[in-house]
Amino acid sequence: MPRTKGADLITEYLIANKIPYVFGICGHGNVGMLDSLHAARDRIKMISPRHEQVAAHMADAYFRVRHEPVATLTSCGPGSCNIVMPLACAIADSSALLAITANVPTSQFNRSPFQEINKHFQADFPNIIRPVVKRSFQPTRVDMLPLALRQSMTTMLSGRPGPVNLDVPFNVFQEADNVELPPPSPPLNAQRSGASPNEISACVDLILKAQRPVLFVGHGVTLSEASRELTEFANNLGIPVISSPNGMGCLDMTDPLSLGFIGRNGAYPANEAGRRADLVIAIGARFDDRSASSWMPGYSWNFPHTKLIHVDVDPSELGRNYPPDIGVLADARTFLQQLLAEVAPRNPKGDALKAWHADIKKWQETWQKFTAPNFDMHASPIRPERIVMDCQDVLPHDAILCCDVGVSHNWYMQFWKARRPQTMMNSWGFSGMGFGASGALGAKLAAPDRPVVAVTGDGCFTMVPHVLCTAVEYNIPVVWVIWNNFGWVSIRDIQLGMFGGHELGTMFHEGPNQKPYNPDFAAWARATGVEAMTITKSQDFKGALEHAVKANKPFVLDVHVDAEVRPPSTGAWQLPPTPYKEPVFGARFLPDVAPVK
Ligand SMILES: Cc1ncc(C[n+]2csc(CCOP(=O)(O)OP(=O)(O)O)c2C)c(N)n1
Ligand SMILES: [Mg+2]
């Protein structure tokens, strides 16, 4: 057996698993790994952004676009502590990345060497990171690496994907042992689980009996790459589809059966259909508070009056919030294929859902009539709708939109029409500011031939402005649209709405005269070598975006958006004990809708 250095074994295993990039930041703890990556630089590329948070968001977005993972590399102590937040984003949204962290030499464990965390246990970084990864491995000898590497990769990609941590002490990078490269691990979706025949026939019985069925699809459908099966199933049976943000585009959202997102910031037809449905078939979707109007019955959903078929690969999601009538532990694509096979010989009647379709059409027309006028308006500062619409007009169907957190995201969740899966990136479960602005770099590396646009708030962008340096250093042509409303406006609005109109710490002001303040983002961008424009009139946005996308280089558009125009709420969101607001658009559930027998 050849004697191999630990760092070389790691590098070779990444390469054997077709990992093309390591996104990482140096530190004394990981220089041994850097040396190995240097030797293999023709086969695996190191990209070094200016903050570990960015590295992990990049890896997260890369996976969401390609469904293939990359690795991050951070040093011991503070560098690795900086990836806790983006790992939380990744695990909350079932996104995979291999977070290689360095630790102190094993011979110094528990002596408090530089940057060791050891209050309760030696070299205790795995305990810091534990809640935000599927598993943390800490091989303390080179002969432990083959198993740890194989198990890390397999854990990350099997079942419900998620980030995994490989914590490597300094000496384990350096030392050599007689070790063999383990076999590569299976890629995402290599193993798929299905429902039992009884479950499938019981599901189809319920589905064919339903008069008002809806499908609710989430990231599980995207991850399972079940877009074709979903589209076929929805169209064959005429079942409308509600999407969570990370499920958007699995059914082309211009399809009349696509109802959009549900919840406070959802589309009105989705909330109407959700709360009036007699059967919900939820696939790879969680009923989180924001997509379930904080579980208050009658706003977005109306369980237990409505029957529920809930399908997920993760048993902990089945029945978390609503006990299903049929809970199915299965992969989304396999389940849909099984449904299609079971439905075909039963020959369902084509017009069985005529009345339901008529209701849905009515809600879609009402919503269209209510919202359309604002999309046509020009204004300064710019109305939010205009930006969403112009992005939709300018960007091709395969462009990748990286949403950040805040008001802008609310508008995109409500009105963006994703045409394909894996084109709309959302930090949904954890909502980490900076995900969109940073993730765009990873998304572009994952899809170099497609336009990538980050829509990021002024607050989000100022958390990670150094993404521009990375774009220049590695020539990553991303367009950042900074949704500039001079404050943390999504939070300001909660503050104003719930606390008697007071504002503190939620808007950006300059000095004692309280003038709205922000840096000149365009000048800031130019200082980093990135082209930029400031846009204050809505007439100028579309052309500027076209220009920026066509330029095919890093580009910043600083867009001044009206902070006083709020997305219409069509569901509710509650933060107990503060009172919630009734939806501005949409009726509460009417008790006249009979439960299914
Ligand atoms: C890292 C992080 N810090 C704080 C928050 C809480 N938070 C959510 S939205 C928001 C404001 C976002 O501001 P901006 O990017 O300007 O977007 P806006 O709401 O103004 O459109 C804050 C502070 C968060 N989600 N993530
Ligand atoms: Mg803002």
Per-residue pLDDT of 171-217, as tens digits, reads: 999 999 999 999 999 999 999 999 999 999 999 999 999 999 999 99
Q: b/e string for 107-143 if b means 16 or more Cβ within 10 A?
A: ebbeeebebbbbeeebbbbbebbeebbbbbbbbbebe
Residue 458 in contact with ligand 1 by CB distance below 6 A:
yes
Q: What is the pLDDT of residue 364?
A: 96
Cα 459 to ligand 1 centre (Å) = 6
Residue 405 in contact with ligand 1 by CB distance below 6 A:
yes
Q: What is the pLDDT of residue 561?
A: 97
Q: Per residue in 239-263, pLDDT tens?
A: 999 999 999 999 999 999 999 999 9
Q: Per residue in 149-167, pLDDT tens?
A: 999 999 999 999 999 999 9
Cα 295 to ligand 1 centre (Å) = 24
Mean pLDDT of the chain: 95
Cα 436 to ligand 1 centre (Å) = 12
Q: Is the pLDDT of residue 103 over 80?
A: yes
Residue 491 in contact with ligand 1 by CB distance below 6 A:
yes
Q: What is the pLDDT of residue 595?
A: 37
Q: What is the pLDDT of residue 592?
A: 44
With a pLDDT cut of 90, the percent of the chain lying above it is 92
The ligand minimizing its distance to the Cα of 486 is 2
Residue of 54, 430, 488, 560 with the most ligand 1 atoms within 8 Å of its CB, for mutation: 488
Q: Per residue in 441-494, pLDDT tens?
A: 999 999 999 999 999 999 999 999 999 999 999 999 999 999 999 999 999 999
Residue of 490, 492, 493 with the most ligand 1 atoms within 8 Å of its CB, for mutation: 490
Residue 485 in contact with ligand 1 by CB distance below 6 A:
yes
Angle at the Cα of 504 (from 499 to 506), degrees rounded to 5?
100
Distance, in Å, from the CA atom of 301 to the CA atom of 275, rounded to the nearest integer, reads 4
The ligand minimizing its distance to the Cα of 456 is 1
Cα 563 to ligand 1 centre (Å) = 14
Cα 172 to ligand 1 centre (Å) = 40
What stretch of H or E contains 213?
Answer: strand 213-217
Helix axes 197-209, 332-343, angle to 10 degrees: 70
Confidence band of 32 (pLDDT split at 50, 70, 90): very high
Q: What is the pLDDT of residue 287?
A: 97
Q: What is the pLDDT of residue 586?
A: 67
Residue 27 in contact with ligand 1 by CB distance below 6 A:
no
At 46 the three-state DSSP class reads strand
Q: Per residue in 408-419, pLDDT tens?
A: 999 999 999 999
Q: What is the pLDDT of residue 348?
A: 84
Q: Is the pLDDT of residue 23 over 60?
A: yes
Q: What is the pLDDT of residue 351?
A: 87
Cα 509 to ligand 2 centre (Å) = 12
At 548 the three-state DSSP class reads helix
What stretch of H or E contains 359?
Answer: helix 354-375
Cα 467 to ligand 2 centre (Å) = 18
Mean pLDDT calculated for residue range 523-542? 97
Q: b/e string for 248-272 if b means 16 or more Cβ within 10 A?
A: bbbbbbeeebbbbbbbbbbbbbbbb
Q: How far is CA 464 from CA 50, 223, 287, 305, in A?
A: 9, 28, 31, 46
Average the pLDDT over each of 349-358, 398-407, 482-491 and give the range with the smallest value: 349-358
Q: Is the pLDDT of residue 593 over 70?
A: no
Q: Per residue in 128-155, pLDDT tens?
A: 999 999 999 999 999 999 999 999 999 9
Give the chain's largest Cα–Cα span. 75
Cα 171 to ligand 1 centre (Å) = 40
Q: Which atom of ligand 1 is nearest the CA belonging to 407?
A: 21
Closest Cα to atom 1 of ligand 1 = 433
3-state secondary structure 95-155: CCCEEEEEECCHHHCCCCCCCCCCCCCCCCHHHHHHHHCCEEECCCCHHHHHHHHHHHHHH
Q: Which atom of ligand 1 is nearest the CA belonging to 458?
A: 16
Q: Per residue in 377-390, pLDDT tens?
A: 898 889 999 999 99
Residue 561 forms beta bridges with which residues? Answer: 382
At 5 the three-state DSSP class reads strand
Residue 47 in contact with ligand 1 by CB distance below 6 A:
no
Residue of 433, 461, 486, 561 with the most ligand 1 atoms within 8 Å of its CB, for mutation: 433
At 279 the three-state DSSP class reads strand
